[in-house]
Amino acid sequence: MDRPPENDLCSICHSNFNIPCQANCSHWFCGSCILQVWDHGAALHPCKCPLCRREITLLVPREASSKQCLMVNTAEILQRIERYNRLYGERSNGLMQRMRDLPFLLRRLLRDIRDPQRTLPLVIRARVYLAMISSAIYVLSPVDIIPEGLLGIIGFLDDLIIILLCFLHVAALYRAVLLSRHGGS
Protein backbone atom coordinates (compact mmCIF):
# COMPACT_ATOMS: atom_id res chain seq x y z
CA MET A 1 0.00 0.00 0.00
CA ASP A 2 1.58 3.27 -1.12
CA ARG A 3 -0.82 5.47 0.78
CA PRO A 4 -3.06 5.25 3.83
CA PRO A 5 -6.46 3.62 3.28
CA GLU A 6 -9.13 5.94 1.91
CA ASN A 7 -11.33 7.66 4.51
CA ASP A 8 -8.93 6.57 7.25
CA LEU A 9 -7.68 8.86 10.00
CA CYS A 10 -4.47 8.97 11.98
CA SER A 11 -4.98 6.79 15.04
CA ILE A 12 -3.04 9.24 17.21
CA CYS A 13 -4.62 12.61 16.39
CA HIS A 14 -7.86 11.24 14.87
CA SER A 15 -7.79 13.65 11.94
CA ASN A 16 -6.72 13.47 8.30
CA PHE A 17 -3.14 12.43 7.67
CA ASN A 18 -0.56 15.19 7.52
CA ILE A 19 2.69 13.84 6.01
CA PRO A 20 1.58 10.20 6.24
CA CYS A 21 4.23 7.71 7.33
CA GLN A 22 4.03 3.95 7.25
CA ALA A 23 5.80 2.09 10.03
CA ASN A 24 7.46 -1.29 9.58
CA CYS A 25 4.40 -2.84 11.24
CA SER A 26 2.34 -1.52 8.25
CA HIS A 27 0.31 1.00 10.28
CA TRP A 28 -0.01 4.60 9.05
CA PHE A 29 0.43 7.75 11.15
CA CYS A 30 0.97 11.47 10.65
CA GLY A 31 4.70 12.12 10.62
CA SER A 32 4.42 14.67 13.40
CA CYS A 33 2.18 12.41 15.51
CA ILE A 34 4.49 9.39 15.49
CA LEU A 35 7.46 11.65 16.19
CA GLN A 36 5.57 13.00 19.22
CA VAL A 37 5.12 9.44 20.45
CA TRP A 38 8.87 8.99 20.08
CA ASP A 39 9.57 12.30 21.89
CA HIS A 40 7.50 11.21 24.88
CA GLY A 41 9.03 7.74 25.09
CA ALA A 42 12.47 6.54 26.06
CA ALA A 43 15.10 8.77 24.50
CA LEU A 44 17.50 6.00 23.49
CA HIS A 45 14.97 3.49 22.15
CA PRO A 46 12.68 3.44 19.15
CA CYS A 47 9.03 4.08 19.85
CA LYS A 48 6.42 1.35 19.86
CA CYS A 49 3.43 1.34 17.56
CA PRO A 50 0.41 2.74 19.42
CA LEU A 51 -1.79 0.10 17.76
CA CYS A 52 0.16 -3.18 17.88
CA ARG A 53 2.99 -2.29 20.32
CA ARG A 54 5.69 -3.51 17.94
CA GLU A 55 8.96 -1.63 17.95
CA ILE A 56 9.10 0.82 15.03
CA THR A 57 12.51 0.62 13.41
CA LEU A 58 11.61 2.15 10.06
CA LEU A 59 9.31 5.01 9.06
CA VAL A 60 8.56 5.39 5.36
CA PRO A 61 6.95 8.73 4.54
CA ARG A 62 4.68 8.97 1.55
CA GLU A 63 6.04 11.37 -1.04
CA ALA A 64 4.86 14.82 -0.04
CA SER A 65 2.62 16.76 -2.38
CA SER A 66 3.87 20.04 -3.82
CA LYS A 67 1.58 21.93 -1.41
CA GLN A 68 3.09 20.10 1.56
CA CYS A 69 6.65 20.66 0.32
CA LEU A 70 6.15 24.41 0.57
CA MET A 71 5.40 24.21 4.28
CA VAL A 72 8.44 24.81 6.51
CA ASN A 73 7.10 22.34 9.04
CA THR A 74 7.13 19.56 6.42
CA ALA A 75 10.86 19.86 5.82
CA GLU A 76 11.55 19.73 9.55
CA ILE A 77 9.34 16.64 10.02
CA LEU A 78 11.00 14.85 7.08
CA GLN A 79 14.43 15.65 8.52
CA ARG A 80 13.39 14.22 11.89
CA ILE A 81 12.07 11.08 10.18
CA GLU A 82 15.44 10.72 8.42
CA ARG A 83 17.16 11.09 11.80
CA TYR A 84 14.87 8.48 13.34
CA ASN A 85 15.63 6.04 10.51
CA ARG A 86 19.38 6.67 10.82
CA LEU A 87 19.21 5.92 14.56
CA TYR A 88 17.03 2.81 14.48
CA GLY A 89 16.76 1.62 10.88
CA GLU A 90 19.88 -0.50 10.75
CA ARG A 91 19.37 -1.92 14.20
CA SER A 92 19.74 -5.69 14.38
CA ASN A 93 16.46 -6.72 15.90
CA GLY A 94 16.85 -10.43 15.92
CA LEU A 95 15.16 -13.06 13.85
CA MET A 96 11.63 -12.56 15.23
CA GLN A 97 11.58 -8.84 14.38
CA ARG A 98 12.89 -9.57 10.90
CA MET A 99 10.20 -12.20 10.41
CA ARG A 100 7.51 -9.72 11.46
CA ASP A 101 8.88 -7.09 9.07
CA LEU A 102 9.02 -9.56 6.17
CA PRO A 103 5.44 -9.06 4.82
CA PHE A 104 5.76 -5.25 4.96
CA LEU A 105 9.08 -5.20 3.13
CA LEU A 106 8.15 -7.81 0.52
CA ARG A 107 4.85 -6.04 -0.32
CA ARG A 108 6.65 -2.73 -0.82
CA LEU A 109 9.43 -4.41 -2.86
CA LEU A 110 6.91 -6.11 -5.13
CA ARG A 111 5.17 -2.79 -5.71
CA ASP A 112 8.49 -1.05 -6.45
CA ILE A 113 9.52 -3.75 -8.92
CA ARG A 114 6.20 -3.54 -10.81
CA ASP A 115 5.96 0.27 -10.84
CA PRO A 116 7.84 1.84 -13.78
CA GLN A 117 7.86 5.23 -12.02
CA ARG A 118 9.94 3.87 -9.14
CA THR A 119 13.56 3.01 -9.62
CA LEU A 120 15.45 0.36 -7.75
CA PRO A 121 19.21 0.31 -8.16
CA LEU A 122 20.22 -2.21 -10.82
CA VAL A 123 22.51 -4.03 -8.39
CA ILE A 124 19.63 -4.52 -5.93
CA ARG A 125 17.31 -5.72 -8.71
CA ALA A 126 19.95 -8.20 -9.90
CA ARG A 127 20.56 -9.51 -6.38
CA VAL A 128 16.82 -9.92 -5.75
CA TYR A 129 16.32 -11.82 -9.00
CA LEU A 130 19.43 -13.94 -8.40
CA ALA A 131 18.29 -14.88 -4.88
CA MET A 132 14.80 -15.79 -6.10
CA ILE A 133 16.03 -17.78 -9.11
CA SER A 134 18.70 -19.68 -7.15
CA SER A 135 16.24 -20.62 -4.39
CA ALA A 136 13.69 -21.76 -7.01
CA ILE A 137 16.37 -23.90 -8.70
CA TYR A 138 17.27 -25.48 -5.36
CA VAL A 139 13.64 -26.21 -4.48
CA LEU A 140 12.90 -27.71 -7.92
CA SER A 141 16.14 -29.69 -8.23
CA PRO A 142 16.29 -33.35 -7.18
CA VAL A 143 19.43 -32.68 -5.12
CA ASP A 144 18.58 -31.82 -1.50
CA ILE A 145 20.33 -31.58 1.82
CA ILE A 146 17.47 -33.59 3.36
CA PRO A 147 16.09 -35.90 0.64
CA GLU A 148 12.31 -36.09 0.35
CA GLY A 149 12.46 -39.66 -0.94
CA LEU A 150 13.92 -40.96 2.32
CA LEU A 151 12.24 -38.76 4.90
CA GLY A 152 8.95 -37.85 3.22
CA ILE A 153 7.36 -34.59 4.38
CA ILE A 154 10.30 -33.83 6.69
CA GLY A 155 12.45 -33.70 3.57
CA PHE A 156 10.64 -30.53 2.54
CA LEU A 157 12.04 -28.81 5.62
CA ASP A 158 15.29 -27.83 3.88
CA ASP A 159 13.31 -26.39 0.96
CA LEU A 160 11.26 -24.24 3.33
CA ILE A 161 14.39 -23.07 5.13
CA ILE A 162 16.04 -22.10 1.81
CA ILE A 163 12.94 -20.15 0.76
CA LEU A 164 12.78 -18.38 4.15
CA LEU A 165 16.46 -17.46 3.98
CA CYS A 166 15.95 -16.13 0.46
CA PHE A 167 13.04 -13.95 1.57
CA LEU A 168 14.98 -12.68 4.60
CA HIS A 169 17.93 -11.80 2.35
CA VAL A 170 15.71 -9.99 -0.15
CA ALA A 171 13.93 -8.11 2.67
CA ALA A 172 17.28 -7.04 4.14
CA LEU A 173 18.37 -5.73 0.73
CA TYR A 174 15.15 -3.77 0.31
CA ARG A 175 15.33 -2.42 3.87
CA ALA A 176 18.76 -1.00 2.95
CA VAL A 177 17.21 0.69 -0.11
CA LEU A 178 14.42 2.20 2.02
CA LEU A 179 16.98 3.43 4.55
CA SER A 180 19.03 5.07 1.83
CA ARG A 181 15.88 6.76 0.48
CA HIS A 182 14.40 7.85 3.80
CA GLY A 183 17.35 7.76 6.16
CA GLY A 184 19.54 10.29 4.43
CA SER A 185 22.55 7.97 4.19
The residues of the chain that CATH labels 3.30.40.10 are 1-91
pLDDT tens, position by position, 89-118: 776 567 887 888 888 888 888 878 877 776
pTM for the predicted model, two decimal places: 0.72
The DSSP line for the chain is --SPPTT---TTT-S--SSEEEETTS-EEEHHHHHHHHHTS-TTS--B-TTT--B---EEEPPPPHHHHTSHHHHHHHHHHHHHHHHHTT---HHHHHHHHHHHHHHHHHHHHH-TTS---HHHHHHHHHHHHHHHHHHHSS--SS-HHHHGGGGGHHHHHHHHHHHHHHHHHHHHHHHHHHS--
In CATH terms, the superfamily for domain 1-91 is Zinc/RING finger domain, C3HC4 (zinc finger) (3.30.40.10)
pLDDT tens, position by position, 47-105: 999 999 988 989 999 865 545 555 668 889 999 998 888 888 776 567 887 888 888 88
